Structure 1
Amino acid sequence: MNLLALDTSTAHLSVAVQHASRVWTYSGAGGAQASTHLIPTVRSLLAQADLSLDALDALVFGRGPGSFTGVRTACSVVQGLAFGARGGLGVAVLPVDTLLAVAEDARERCGCTQVVAVLDARMDEVYSARYEFGEHGWHGSGDFAVCAPEAVQVPEGWTVAGNALNVYGQRLAPHARHVDALPQAQALLRLAPRLLARGLGQPASAALPLYVRDKVAQTTAERAAQREKI
């Protein structure tokens, strides 16, 4: 299977290309720099893999939740690449939840199969979701939460995976096992075959972001109240 996978939902930029059984990867600084480096990186990896966009079976990307700017960057780049391939006929896109990719990255790192995936949502909050891995792959509740780190509920024996522990420390499930994990492009590649087999590949127009938090800006009064708490 020939795939291009990318994620720009965190401060970490991750891109990978799969040509049959071989994989080429790139990891670097994301955030505000992602939009500058993303397309040149994609072109470089495709060239290394001796692939063209037309030869891809799908473009896989982390659709969110995550950085609003980062998620929009991924969607716009994937949509543009997909629309432009095959003389305008397009290539399928596969939107993947970033928290699912975090769970898969944690499974690859430590073998955990019951994961509470958690990403820093800023504004003193985290994004979280629960996933279990079994015979048919990952199964999640489908519910995403955005809440204070203290409010994340972790069942006994489950692993907390993500990047939020580095930010919130003991405020986040202090008695649970923690694994550093990110929505890596390699994790997206591992998830893709099963998701594509389920018919989840979509046209380029479906390269849309997943937003969990509706409000991303505070009023002047809210910012002043927040400063008074410090």
Structure 2
Amino acid sequence: MTSKILAVDTATENCSVALKVGDETIARCEIAPREHTTKILPMVDSVLAEAGLTLNQLDALAFGRGPGSFTGVRIGIGIAQGLAFGANLPMVGVSTLAAMAQQAYRRHQADHVLATIDARMNEIYAGGFQRLDNGDWTTVVEEAVLPPALFNPQLANASWFTAGTGWQAYPDLISQLHLETTDSGVLYPEAEDMLILAYHALARGEAVDAEHASPVYLRDTVAWKKLPGRE
């Protein structure tokens, strides 16, 4: 089974890298809006140096596939593809929302998590996740981008942890759910939490060659139209 996985994520204001070597995890993380392009590669070099490894010695490369900032997601996948191409590594995309669920578990043993990210434009990215006995997660509320007022999933389990920036940006979200919720304190995804998700994805055979790695924008049409010269 794959044991040496590098994960990188720049999909939100947070910039993070993590390396799993057997049971050891080496991680770097920094809130650095608009500095991802200058921060991420030195972080990669740092974790590899600490582990005494080169890219060619790794088994796979995981990346935050989104949702998140259009620019941030593009930066992350572009850098990840460049690294994977150079070392001929398979790639696996990891949901940033699911990564926050895993982080809530790491911090609080949370096994039911509603994750949201402030998507700007009066919308949120949102999804709901339940932890399985094998340590993987299943999606119980499909990831979507929508106005906060429309996020009201019907859930059988009445007790949930919340994670992400959407809850702070739209405080009324909590009251409209009619659920028992606990704030996990998680605001942003971290590459460290993508490692376990990537491990399970790789076990399911979901790795792809670098040229086939793709982001998940959820709002890709709108983001595309916002680019200069696009309609």
Q: Could you state the TM-score of these two structures normalised by the residue count of structure 2?
A: 0.86
Match of 2:31 in 1: 29
Counterpart among 180, 183, 186 of residue 178 in structure 1 = 183
1:150 aligns with 2:149: yes
2:104–2:163 contact (8 Å) kept in structure 1: yes
- Give the counterpart letter for 2:199 in structure 1: P
Distance verdict in 2 for CA 1:149–1:177, change over 3 Å = farther
Specify every segment of 5 or more residues in structure 1 that has no aligned partner in the other structure, as ranges.
219-230
1:10–1:67 contact (8 Å) kept in structure 2: yes
- Give aligned pairs, total: 213
1:8–1:31 contact (8 Å) kept in structure 2: no
Match of 1:139 in 2: 138
In structure 2, C-alpha distance between the alignment counterparts of 1:189 and 1:56, rounded to whole Å: 13
Q: Could you state the TM-score of these two structures normalised by the residue count of structure 1?
A: 0.86
Please, which moves more after superposition, 175-184 or 25-34? 175-184
| Identity value in percent | 37
In the TM superposition, residue 49 of structure 1 has moved relative to its aligned partner by 0.9
Match of 1:215 in 2: 222
In the TM superposition, residue 141 of structure 1 has moved relative to its aligned partner by 4.2
Specify every segment of 5 or more residues in structure 2 that has no aligned partner in the other structure, as ranges.
227-231
Please, which moves more after superposition, 123-132 or 14-23? 14-23
In structure 2, C-alpha distance between the alignment counterparts of 1:212 and 1:71, rounded to whole Å: 11
- Give the counterpart letter for 1:161 in structure 2: A
In the TM superposition, residue 149 of structure 1 has moved relative to its aligned partner by 2.2
Match of 2:76 in 1: 74
Summarize deviations over 1:152-180 as a string: whole Å, max 9, x none.
Answer: 22533222221222322x22213632222
Please, which moves more after superposition, 106-115 or 65-74? 106-115
Summarize deviations over 1:121-169 as a string: whole Å, max 9, x none.
Answer: 111211001111122421114722212223222533222221222322x
Match of 1:225 in 2: none
1:188 aligns with 2:190: no
1:15–1:41 contact (8 Å) kept in structure 2: yes
Larger Rg over CA atoms = 1
Match of 1:99 in 2: 97
